[in-house]
Amino acid sequence: MRNIKIETLMSAALFVLAYQAAGCLPIPVPRTVMTQPAGTVRVLSEETEALVSKASVTVARYHVAPPPTREENKPLQQWTISSDEEGEAHFTYQSEREWTAPLMMHGVPYRVWVVCASAADHVPKLVRWHNESNDDDALRIQSGEEPLPTLVIELQPGSGETCEERLSANPMFKPLD
């Protein structure tokens, strides 16, 4: 066994503390994250306030931090379903495991969920549905304990870019509808 000088141990300890204080200690920590929130999206016609059945409803998950670039900020995942006869699209909770480095300055990802609804003879509409957060309500949603409140989207008559075009154009860097 070697004799290690106290000065060497102190220097090593100070180095580790300084490295950690700078936000650079990469200790990986596993966590379960929500990939798709549970909730209902109701689609209405803005003109008639009638429910829109067979509307296409897409939920997309975006990674927005640590700092994304415009080129990288494409949807991580997206799901598309059609609304039922009551104009509602029902999404179920999905999650996955990921590794984060919470002691690093940019070690914990932050995500948002965006919904785009479209229907024949209507302009597609893009809205933010949920932001990752640490408040109690958001944590219950992110753990799958509670669904999101029903999101109502009113579509205007007309035509416009498709949801696919709008979602691939980095909506995180532009105002939403």
| pLDDT one-digit tens code per residue, 121-170 | 999 999 988 877 767 777 778 788 888 889 999 999 998 888 988 888 76
Domain boundaries of the chain, sorted by first residue: 24-173
pLDDT of 10? 77
58, 115 in Cβ contact below 8 A? yes
24-173: CATH topology is Immunoglobulin-like (2.60.40)
- pLDDT tens-digit profile of 69-86? 555 567 788 999 999 999
Describe the strand order of the beta sheet including 110-118 as a list of residue ranges.
77-82, 56-65, 110-118, 125-131
Contact 39, 147 (CB under 8 A): yes
- How confident is the model over 91-108, as pLDDT tens digits? 999 998 888 777 766 666
Torsional class of 64: left (φ above 0), alpha (ψ -120 to 50), beta (otherwise): alpha
